[in-house]
Structure 1
C-alpha cells in the first residue's frame, strides 16, 4: 500500500475561544522497517498516524482499544475524536502542552508474510515512527485496553524512548475467561465468513462483546423493565441496545480486521519484570475482561516503580471511555510528574 502523503495543518487551538497558541497537525503515513513476531523475516509496513498539538512540545503517544483509530482528538477534517474529553486544549492530555501521536493499528495484511499481528508489532511500529518523525523520546505512552497492552510492549522493548507509561484497563496478559469470550466472538465471525453472512455474524459478535465490556450494575439499572410483545415475539429491553451496537459496529468495521485484532489481544504476553519505566496503572473493579487481581499482580511484578489507582464504576471495561471526568486528574497527575524532568 503506498504511503499516504503527510498533510500538515496549522490550526487554531480552539474554535470557541481565542487560541492561546497555534497548533500543528500532521496526518499521513510512513513506511517503517519491522520484523513481525509471527512473520517470516523483516518487512516494510505502512503506518497511518496523526501527530497533533503544540509545535516543539514533548510528544505523548495515545492508543485505545481495538476499535479505536488514530483520531483520538479533534483535528482538521475531524470534528471530534474517540477520546476528546481527555485529549484537547486544556484537557488532561493538554494539546497546549504536548503533541499527541496515535496510529491506526496494524493487521497481518499490513505485514507481508505475517500470519498474525502482535502487541509487540504495534509497539515496534510506534517506535519506528517516533524515530522517523525525529521525536527520539516521548514524554509518556497513555494506553487503554489493547492500547495499554501495546504500551507495556513498548516499555519492555523500547525503554529508552519512553519516560512514563500510563496503562488503563490493560494487563501483561489476557485473562483466560476473557480469551474464552473473545474466542466465541471470533467463531461467530468465522462462521459468517464461511456462510456468506458476514454482516450478520459481525453484528452478533459485537452484541456479545458488549455484554463483556459493560458492568452488571449498569445493565441492571438500564434494562430492568419487562419484555414487550412485538412482531410476534417478546422483546427484552436490552435487545434494542445490543442490536443498535451491532449495527453501528458493522457500519464502521471490517470482519477480517476484527478477527486479527481480537486474536492479537489473546496472543499478548509481556513479562512485567522487563518493564522498568515508571508506570501508572488504572483499574476498575467492575471490569470483567481485565480483573483487578491481574493489575495487582502486574503492579507487584513490574521492574520499575508502579502505582495502581482503583476507580469504582458501573461501566465495567468501558469505564475508560465513560469515566473521563474521574480519570482526568489521574492522567494529568501522571503526566505532570514527569513534564518538568523531560529531556
Structure 2
C-alpha cells in the first residue's frame, strides 16, 4: 500500500494521539515527518503500559511503504535528508539508486519501545510488533509493502509476520532467527552482569562501556581483528595494552554517550526472550545469513528457512564482519534487497 491514501488527510491533520515534530511535503512529492503516538500496550510479560512511540517517515507519498528496523542501538532516523540532515544509522543503504530509495519508496522507522530508558520492565519482541501495528493504524497504513529487519529488527519482523500477517506483504530478515542461540544468550548475560557490577560501584557508565566492548567482539570476527589489529602489545604506564583496545574504548564511549543503561539492559533481555515457531510465519520471507556470524549461526538461519517451508528463501553472505555485515557489506545487502523487494510488476 502507498502512503498516498493516508497522506492527504494525515499530513494536514494528525490523530488525537499523534503529534508531529516536523512535516515537509516537497515539490517533488517527497515527504518527511517525525512524530510520536501515545498508546496503551498490553505487554507480554509486564501487563498494560502507556507508551509513547516515536517514528520517522520519509519518501515519496505515492510509493509503497517499507518499514525498516535495526539492532537495539538503531533508531527512527535511517539516513540524512533535506529535512533531517544528520547522518542516520543506515545512511549507506538509503539513497538514490538504492533498493531503499526515498524517491521510490516511503520508509518508516521507529525508536524501539524501551529505547529511551523510561520503561523498566521486560520487553518482548512481540510487544514491539504490536506497537508497530498501533502506529500503522494511527498513520492510516493498512499494509506494508515490506518489512526489512536487521539483527533485533529481524526478530521484530518475524513477530509481526507471525502475529499480524495481514499487515505486511513480505519480510526480509537479516541476521536474525526464530530464537536466541544459547551461545549468544550467554554472551549477553555476561554483558548485563558487567553493567550490574558497574551499578554496584556507582560506575554505571564504565559498566555499560565494558558491556559494549564485550558486544563488539561478538559482532565481529577473529579474521577482521587479525587484519586490523595484528600488532605487538605495548606497555603503557606499566600495563600491557593490546592493539584493539583503543578501538574498543572508543566503541564503549560512543555507546555510553547515547544509550541509557536501563534501555540497554531491557533491550538486551528482549533478544533473549525472543522465540517463535517458524511454521507460524505466514508471510513470504527472505532470510539473509552471514557465515561466521557468532550471534546468529548459519545453522539457525537454515532451521528457520526449513520451518518456513515454501514461504522461505535463504541468502548467505561470507564476510569478515560477522553479525555486523549488514552495516559494512552495503552493496551486497542492497543487491539482495533489490531482488527481495521487487514484486507485483515493480522495478526495484
Distance 1:214 1:6 in 2: 38
TM-score by length of structure 1 reads 0.91
Q: Residue 141 of structure 1 contacts residue 165 of structure 1 at CA under 8 Å; is this kept in 2?
A: yes
Supply the RMSD in Å over aligned alpha carbons. Answer: 2.1
**1:94 partnered with 2:133:** no
Structure 1 residue 109 displacement after superposition: 8.1
- The aligned residue for residue 174 of structure 1 is 180
Q: Residue 116 of structure 2 contacts residue 260 of structure 2 at CA under 8 Å; is this kept in 1?
A: no
- The aligned residue for residue 302 of structure 1 is 308
Unpaired stretches in structure 1, ≥5 consecutive residues: 13-18
**1:217 partnered with 2:228:** no
Distance 1:32 1:110 in 2: 17
Q: Residue 226 of structure 1 contacts residue 236 of structure 1 at CA under 8 Å; is this kept in 2?
A: yes
Q: Residue 117 of structure 2 contacts residue 262 of structure 2 at CA under 8 Å; is this kept in 1?
A: no
- The aligned residue for residue 80 of structure 1 is 87
CA separation of 1:120/1:111 partners in 2, compared to 1, >3 Å: closer, same or farther? farther
Q: Residue 45 of structure 1 contacts residue 110 of structure 1 at CA under 8 Å; is this kept in 2?
A: no
Secondary structure at 1:116's aligned position in 2?
A: coil
User: Of 286, 309, 334, which aligns to 2:340?
Assistant: 334
User: Of 270, 283, 291, which aligns to 1:285?
Assistant: 291
Give runs of aligned pairs for residues 1-343 of structure 1, distance below 5 A: 5-10=19-24, 21-40=28-47, 42-75=48-81, 76-107=83-114, 115-302=121-308, 304-338=310-344, 340=346
Distance 2:230 2:17 in 1: 50
Structure 1 residue 254 displacement after superposition: 1.1
CA separation of 1:305/1:243 partners in 2, compared to 1, >3 Å: closer, same or farther? same
Distance 1:260 1:289 in 2: 18
Distance 2:29 2:22 in 1: 13
Q: Residue 108 of structure 1 contacts residue 116 of structure 1 at CA under 8 Å; is this kept in 2?
A: no
CA separation of 1:43/1:245 partners in 2, compared to 1, >3 Å: closer, same or farther? closer
Structure 1 residue 9 displacement after superposition: 2.9
Q: Residue 149 of structure 2 contacts residue 172 of structure 2 at CA under 8 Å; is this kept in 1?
A: yes
Secondary structure at 1:85's aligned position in 2?
A: helix
Q: Residue 117 of structure 2 contacts residue 261 of structure 2 at CA under 8 Å; is this kept in 1?
A: no
Unpaired stretches in structure 2, ≥5 consecutive residues: 1-15
Secondary structure at 2:173's aligned position in 1?
A: strand
Q: Deviations over 1:274-294 (max 9, x none)?
A: 101000010101100000000
- The aligned residue for residue 15 of structure 1 is none
Q: Which moved more, 1:213-222 or 1:296-305?
A: 296-305
- The aligned residue for residue 16 of structure 1 is none
Equivalenced residues, count:
331
Structure 1 residue 224 displacement after superposition: 1.1
Q: Residue 321 of structure 2 contacts residue 328 of structure 2 at CA under 8 Å; is this kept in 1?
A: yes
